[in-house]
Amino acid sequence: MYKINATDLMKKTMGDYFLSLDTGANKVAWCTSVGPAELLRSFGFEVFFPENHGALLGATRAAMDYIPEAIKCGYSGHVCSYTTADIGSYLKKESPLKSHYGMKGHPVPSIIVYNTNQCREVQDWFNFFGNEYKVPVCGVHPPRHMDEVSDSEVELVVQQFKDIIPLCEKVSGQKFDIDRYKETLRLSKEATLLWQKVLKTSTAANAPLSFFDGTIHMGPIVVLRGTQKAKEYYTALLSELEDNLQNNKGFLPNAKTRIFWEGMPIWGKLRMMSDLFTSNGAAVVASTYCSSWVFDKFDENDPWNSAARAYTEIFINRSEKAKMKMLADWFEEYSIDGIVYHDTKTCFNNSNAKFGMPQRLKDITGVPFLVIEGDLCDLRFFSEGQSITKIETFLEQLEDVKAVRQ
């Protein structure tokens, strides 16, 4: 049975993080998962990420109890189920943050900051909480869906980052300190580069980290960017995975096929999906999702431009042309035999199978694809039986294609 021992340290790291939000020692800022967390941390805020809470609600399947609460107060059941699950959890005053981590519930924010580099939904979601808690909400609205990100577009985002400073100073009571910001960005860069190395261990034939394990181990890079803790955690994880590489230990030795996962995880079905692929001899070795927290452009010596560029160039914020190039490069790097697109019902932004891209990418790369329908949190949109049949048939076909090629 393959086991990643660093999981215990990861659980402790995440548990300590959640409790740090609840001590009242520092003010709390809420931030989107790819928002300017480093800037907020430089003012001494603890940073809470509602999307991480959404993922927790999805993984524990509690989301299914809370989404109807948000629908009752006017949110469509077809909008982002992180949003509806999180709002429903707040309205019901229930959360795994209480039951699993001993917190009082959502940590009370002093300021709420979002970046629409991923979607506009975060703006509505965060404004709901701004109204509830009567705290300031501010956003970064970068240009979207670009082939390339130009210097003038980076400048625009830099200015928007800087525009947040006066509000942060007022709320935190601390003057902006460029050296503290640089130091936070340096820590963030070091953690993100370690995370990148962690992901790249699975370019090996006997990959030590599956996509499904990656979704669990990415917790600290989402919520603890800019801290020593994140760096320490990924140092430990990388060291273990590199040892496993040396000892030829992987999660699926002799995998028959290597798969790329595109789109959001189906949080409530991670275990089932992981078992489904491995029992069919398929190693899911890479994903767009886990790679979304690799910000290798961070540079503490050029903190404004590098952070603005890194956060604007992310996969979800790019044109189809740029996405296809990134995917084709990953196919090569990870020796991919097939790609599974998760067409996520309530996240249009992170679903790339709606406008014919899978076929166009196959025409260029020759990599076969499968589209499955589902959702990040709302399991009403996921048909388990149908998905199993589709995936098993696809994997059989991939094996046949490989056999013919060999």
Q: What is the nearest approach in angstroms of ligand SF4 to the Cβ of residue 264? A: 6
For the chain, how are helix, strand and coil distributed in percent, rounded to 5? 55, 10, 35
Question: Of the listed pieces 78-86, 190-198, 280-288, 365-373, which binds ligand SF4 according to CB under 6 A?
Answer: 78-86
Q: What is the nearest approach in angstroms of ligand SF4 to the Cβ of residue 215? A: 13
Whose tokens are 């991480």? That residue is: 52
Residue 333 structure tokens:
């790097």
How far is residue 103's CA from residue 96's CA, in Å, rounded to a whole number?
9
Toward ligand SF4, which CB reaches closer, 43 or 211? Answer: 211
Toward ligand SF4, which CB reaches closer, 13 or 350? Answer: 350
The partner residues of 286 in beta bridges, in order of sequence, read 260
Contact at 8 Å (CB) between 257 and 338? yes
Which residue from 52, 84, 115, 118 is in contact with ligand SF4, where contact means CB under 6 A?
118
Question: Of the listed pieces 119-127, 154-162, 188-196, 242-250, which binds ligand SF4 according to CB under 6 A?
Answer: 119-127
- Interface with ligand SF4 in residues 10-69 (CB under 6 A): 51
How far is residue 338's CA from residue 206's CA, in Å, rounded to a whole number?
17
Residue 396 structure tokens:
């059989």
Torsion angle, alpha carbons of 246, 247, 252, 258, to 10: 20
How far is residue 372's CA from residue 337's CA, in Å, rounded to a whole number?
17
Q: How many CB atoms lie within 10 A of CB 181?
A: 23
How far is residue 67's CA from residue 69's CA, in Å, rounded to a whole number?
5
80 part of the interface to ligand SF4, by CB under 6 A: yes
Toward ligand SF4, which CB reaches closer, 143 or 368? Answer: 143
Total residues in contact with ligand SF4, by rule CB under 6 A: 12
Which residue from 82, 181, 211, 251 is in contact with ligand SF4, where contact means CB under 6 A?
82
Q: What is the nearest approach in angstroms of ligand SF4 to the Cβ of residue 110? A: 22
How far is residue 19's CA from residue 133's CA, in Å, rounded to a whole number?
20
Which residue from 55, 64, 119, 285 is in contact with ligand SF4, where contact means CB under 6 A?
119
350 part of the interface to ligand SF4, by CB under 6 A: yes
347 part of the interface to ligand SF4, by CB under 6 A: yes
* Pairing verdict, β 257-262 and 338-344: parallel
Toward ligand SF4, which CB reaches closer, 82 or 304? Answer: 82
378 part of the interface to ligand SF4, by CB under 6 A: no
Query: Applying CB under 6 A, which residues contact ligand SF4?
Result: 51, 80, 82-83, 118-119, 121-122, 347, 349-350, 376
